Homo-oligomer: A and B are copies of this chain.
Amino acid sequence: MAAGKRVSQMRTIIVGAVAGGMSAATRLRRLDPTADIVVFERGNHVSYANCGLPYHVGGVITDREALLLQTPASLRARFDLDVRVRTEVVAIDRARQVVRVREVDGGREHEEGYDRLVLSPGAAPIVPDLPGIERAFTLRTVTDADRLTTVLADRQPRTAVVVGGGFIGLESAENLRRRGLAVSLVELDTQVLAPLDPEMVSPVHAELRRHGVALHLGAALTKVLPDAVELAGGQILSADLVLLAIGVRPETTLALAAGLTIGPRGGITVDASMRTNDPHIYAIGDAVEKTDRIGAEPALIPLANTANRQGRLAADAITGKTVTLSRRLGTAIVQIFDLTVAVTGWNEKRLRAAGRTYQAIHTHPASHAGYYPGAQPMSLKLLFDPHDRRILGAQAVGGEGVDKRIDVLATAIHAGLTADELADLELAYAPAFGSAKDPINMLGYIADNLLTDGQRTLQWHELSGALAAGAALVDVRTPAEHAAGHIPGSINLPLDDLRHRLDELPTGDLIVYCQVGQRGHTATALLTGLNRRATNLDGGYRTWHAGQGSDDSAAL
């Protein structure tokens, strides 16, 4: 901007008219009723709910218009915004502060000058260079969804292959099942949902299979054939429809060409006020790198909450306010048939890969008091730093109440609460909503036992090593539970008998386990108090068993 130019005389150009871009535009308008604001969008639609697209394809959101939160006309009426669709920004001339725009229809080009430029071009689905790949669909825009719904209606496909087991891949698989297709899911990794650690993902695999999704894990797509796909190794999967969802990469074409700095993760580099290395150019949303909260390193967090947040902050920054985007956690959630999966912060795989010190807790609480009907099981995992006690991440898989627990934990991490402090939270309790000790409080109690009392626990993937080193394994569940399934090599000595049958215990180190870890905790406390060296198997049989479901613990 020319020095001294008043904000209200400034011209701001925004590239991309969805989550980030449009949030910036509307906020800027509220901050300045007369500023000149132009928004360019190369697609057909603006302000739409990308996140709803899979559910529109599946027929859950029947009204397509419900996805279009605004139109250029409504944005003109309400916010006096000049929003031009089917208009692509094809180049930025930073020296002259102009962008070159091309009309998608006809290809006419012209230039538009700016005082401030905001880039919110989003991300593009990754499309690998494979034979036949042009037949594959992707799902990013309303136009993509329209294409899919048309094909579903017109060609009545009966089989589908979804490639990629991330959030969008799973939502797509579910919604294609909803439309009656036979769905195969192909995933290169040995598990779907990379944000989950292997023992947490087992119920997700089971849920997908239960709903008729054929899982092909550790499988590489090599070819798209006319009515099938081929996997490495030669397996052929029938596929009237192929949907690619193997991830997105930041849309940086414009930024790169204009010489803006691109970061190590492939996104545009911005400072905490969303400014690129050009002081007149801001960038936001999926296209940019944020700073990770746990690692303080650059991270892509291609999520709507952050895109919206950044849009508003960029507008604030343009009007001269001092703003700072807080470091990002990447809290995310996905519905998978009757299961909900939510995560925040880092997982164990990542902590381990980064060489961080951490401790893990697994629990399997009920969504609300067990004595009140309708409680649903859930599995929770908490990761924290044993030195400063801070929470590093959490994962939850279950039904009702999964979103609540992860939101509370995301808030706790944001605020820097320690793991043991979770015991102190006063969470709303009535029988239909939680427990007197909420699952979150319980995580705090367990953390306190580890951190303050020095109680020993062992992780599911450490068990075989400990047994090999000579420890004895004691199942403190009831004989009926033991008979229904137990860890090989364990002796059964129920908790309620333990005190009177101490002499039946093997000598040496003891590892005790129960179903979820709770009785194991009481057993460990008792044995430790009696001067036995006892360790509780964290998360009990259930976590151990889920860990066996994962292809191998080496993934950790």
Contact = CB atoms under 8 A, between A and B. Distances in A.
A78 B476 CA distance: 11
Nearest to A432: B335
Contacts of A487: none
A287 interface: no
A33 B60 CA distance: 56
A51 interface: yes
A438 B305 contact: yes
Given A424-B414, A445-B312, A522-B30, A371 B66 contact: yes
B309 A371 contact: no
A556 interface: no
Q: Which of A66, A340, A371, A434 has the most CB of B within 10 A?
A: A371
A142 B34 CA distance: 68
A416 B33 CA distance: 35
Contacts of A452: 321
B373 A430 contact: no
Interface residues of A, number: 93
A78 B404 CA distance: 32
Interface string A298-318: 000001111111001000000
Nearest to A412: B411
A452 B319 CA distance: 13
Interface in A304-357: 304-309, 312, 321, 325-326, 328-335, 340, 342, 344
A61 B374 CA distance: 10
A304 to B, nearest CB: 4
A302 B329 CA distance: 36
A332 B407 contact: no
Contacts of A100: none
Q: Which of A329, A404, A499 has the most CB of B within 10 A?
A: A404
A430 B61 CA distance: 14
Q: Which of A306, A373, A411, A441 has the most CB of B within 10 A?
A: A411
Interface in A416-470: 416-417, 423-434, 436-438, 440-441, 445, 452-453
Q: Which of A427, A430, A437 has the most CB of B within 10 A?
A: A430
B309 A424 contact: yes
A431 B305 contact: no
A377 to B, nearest CB: 17
18 contacts: A30-B521, A31-B453, A55-B431, A69-B371, A79-B522, A304-B436, A305-B441, A307-B436, A308-B436, A309-B437, A325-B424, A331-B429, A333-B429, A333-B430, A342-B428, A403-B434, A407-B425, A414-B424
Q: Which 4 A-B pairs have the closest CB atoms?
A: A415-B415, A33-B529, A333-B428, A304-B436
Given A52-B369, A77-B496, 4 more contacts: A55-B372, A304-B436, A325-B424, A403-B434
